[in-house]
Amino acid sequence: MSLLEQASLVLIPSGYKEDTVYSVIPSNGSGDLSFTRASNGTRINSDGLVEVCPWNLFTYSEQFQNANWTGGGNGKPTMTDNFAEAPNGTFTASKMEAVSDAYQLRQNNAIENTQMNLSVYLRTNTGTKTIQLFLNNGTTAFSNLTVTTTWQRFEISGTVTTLSGSGRNGLATLEALTSSEYILVWGAQISVGLTSKPYFPTTDRLNVPRLTYQNGGGGCPSLLLEKQSTNICLYSEQLDNAAWTTLGTVTITANNTTSPDGTLNADKITAAVSSFISQIISGVITTVYTWSCYIKNVDSVISSIRTRNALTVQDANINWSGATISSITNITGVLNYVDVGNGWYRIFTTYTSLEAAQRTRILTDTVSTTSLFIWGAQLETASYASSYIPTTSASATRIADACSKTGISSLIGQTEGVIFVDFDFANKADISGTVPILLRAGANQAYIYISGSIFQADLLNGAIQCSIVGAIGAVGRKKIAFAYKQNDFVLYMNGVQIGTDTSGTVGTMSALTVGSYDSPGYLLNSGINQAILFKTRLTNSELATLTTI
C-alpha cells in the first residue's frame, strides 16, 4: 500500500468552487475544506498570467431572479430560475419572458480601459427567437442573436474605453417572449480579455480559493493563502491618469502593449534624461511599506527606481542588457525582482517611512531619452510584496484567506497520527509579532508553525506535551511531517529527521486548519502544495520518504 493510500485526508489543490477546496481523499465530500475571503484576489493562472479570482465578474451567474440582476428599458424580463435542464446536465437553466422588446437583464461591471469578453448560454423551447447581447451599454460591443432550440454559448468582446450607462452588460429583448415561446438562459459570464474563459459559476463571488501556478507553465497549483493587504497606489494600471505626475519631458502612451494579465493595457513611458513619472501617496510615519510594479524594457540601459520622502530614500538602478535585467545597483535601499515571463519583471522594495507623504518615482534612463513599459503599481503596508491588487480611483483591499474544516474527528488520528504539509517558503512571513501556521489539527492540539528563522511542531493536551524545533533554512520548497503517538514524537523536514520527543500524551482532535490559525494575524502568506493527515504514526523510514523533495 502506498503512503497516500494510508492517508485519511489528502488535500492537493486542484478542484474548487466558491466556499470550498475539494479534498482528494476522501472523495465523497466529507473532507472538503471550507474557504473564506470576502473580496477579490489575484492569482497566477496556468498560462503564467495575472488573473482576477474569480474571473467571472457577474454575480449569481445562474440565478437571474436575484436582485443583483436589474432591468432597463421597459423593465426586467420575467425570470424563472431552475426551470429546465442546463448544458451541464443540472436543472438550473432559467426561463425568460417579456411582453415586448426593450426589456433588459443586466449588471454594471464593465471596467474602464480594459479588454472584456461577455458570454451566455441560450436556447429556445421552440422555433427561433432574436435577442441582443450588449457590453458596456452596447457602446463597446453588441450583437443581435438568433437563438435556436440547441444550447449555444454566445459571446461578444471589445475594449472598454469610457464607461457608458455605468458599464452595463447583459441581454435585451428584441421581441416578445411568452410563456409558451420563450428563451432559456444559463451561465452568464463577463471576464477580462478578448477571449472567453471557461465558464465559472458564481453566487456572491466571495470566498473563491486562489489556486496559483506561481510562474505559470502548467503543472500542479498551490493554494495561495495571504493576510489582508491594501494597495494605496491609485490607478495602478493607468499611468496617464492625473494621479500620476511627471517632471521634465515625459510621454505616456496608454494601453501600448500586452501586460502580465494578457491584455493590451500596459502603458509605455518615454522620458528624457532626469525626467520621470511619480505618485505622491498619503501614508503613516514610521510604517513599513513595500512598493512593487511590473516593468518591461523597451530601449533603456539604466532605469532608476525610487521610493522616498524628505528623510529617507530608497534608490536603485536597474541595469538592462536588452530586454533582460543584468543586475541591480542598490544605492540607498534594496530593490529585488522576479522574472514573470514575456520580458516582464516584478520589482519590489521594502522601507520604513519617516514622513506621511510617500513618493514613488520611475525614471526611464539616466543617460538618454528611452522607454519602458509599466503596469500594476502597488504600495502596501507590508514587509514583502503580496499578490497584485488592482486599483482605480480609490485604494483596494484584499481580505485575508482562510481554509479550515471542522467536525472531522473521524479523519484525524486521536491516539496517533501524522500531519504533513508541502509548501512554498518564500520568506514572506511578516515577523512583526505574527507566527505563520502551516498546518493545525485540532483545537490547539497538533500544529506546525514558523517563527522567524525556525519552524516548530507542538502537541498540546491541556499543556504542552511535545515541542520540537528546527531551523527553517533558505527559502524554497519545504516538506514537513510531524508524527505523534504516546511517548513517541518525531519531526522531519525535506527527508531529514529534525528531532524527537519520548514523553507526552495525545488528546482528542476534531478540526483542521491549513495555512493559518484562528486569528487572521497568524497566516502563512504563501502557497500550500499539499496537506495530508494520517490516522497512524508512520515509520521513520516512511516519514523520510514522504518529506524528501
3-state secondary structure (DSSP) of residue 413: coil
Q: Would you state the pLDDT for residue 428?
A: 55
Q: Would you state the pLDDT for residue 443?
A: 64
Domains of the chain: 3-37+404-547 (2.60.120.200), 78-192 (2.60.120.260), 229-398 (2.60.120.260)
Which residue bears the cell 520621470?
276
CA dist., res. 19 & res. 217, Å (int): 26
Give the pLDDT of the chain (549 residues) as one tens digit per residue: 688 889 999 999 988 999 999 999 999 999 999 999 999 999 999 899 999 999 999 999 999 999 999 999 999 999 999 999 999 999 999 999 999 999 999 999 999 889 999 999 999 999 999 999 999 999 999 999 999 999 999 999 999 999 999 999 999 999 999 999 999 999 999 999 999 999 999 999 999 999 998 755 667 899 998 889 999 999 999 999 999 999 889 999 999 999 999 999 999 999 998 888 999 888 888 888 999 999 999 999 988 888 765 566 778 899 999 999 999 999 888 899 999 999 999 999 988 888 888 888 887 676 788 899 999 999 999 888 999 999 999 999 999 898 988 888 889 888 999 999 998 887 655 544 456 677 777 665 888 888 778 888 998 888 899 999 999 888 889 999 999 999 999 999 999 999 999 999 998 888 888 887 765 566 777 789 999 999 999 999 999 999 999
Which residues fall within 8 angstroms of residue 376, CB to CB, at 6 or more apart? Answer: 50, 236, 237, 259, 260, 292, 293, 294, 346, 388, 390
Q: Would you state the pLDDT for residue 432?
A: 41
Which residue bears the cell 464593465?
110
Q: Would you state the pLDDT for residue 431?
A: 44
* 156 and 143 Cβ atoms separated by less than 8 Å: yes
SS percent in the chain: helix, strand, coil, step 5? 5, 50, 45
Q: Would you state the pLDDT for residue 520?
A: 56
Q: Would you state the pLDDT for residue 179?
A: 96
Q: Would you state the pLDDT for residue 219?
A: 78
Provide the sign of the torsion angle of the four alpha carbons 438, 453, 521, 231, taken in this order: negative
Q: Prior bond to 198 cis, omega within 30?
A: no
Angle at 205 between CA 204 and CA 207, to 5 degrees: 105
Residue 312 CB neighbour total at 10 angstroms? 14
Q: Would you state the pLDDT for residue 304?
A: 86
Q: Would you state the pLDDT for residue 363?
A: 75
Q: Would you state the pLDDT for residue 41?
A: 95
Q: Would you state the pLDDT for residue 445?
A: 81
| DSSP letter, residue 289 | E
Beta bridge partners of 154: 120
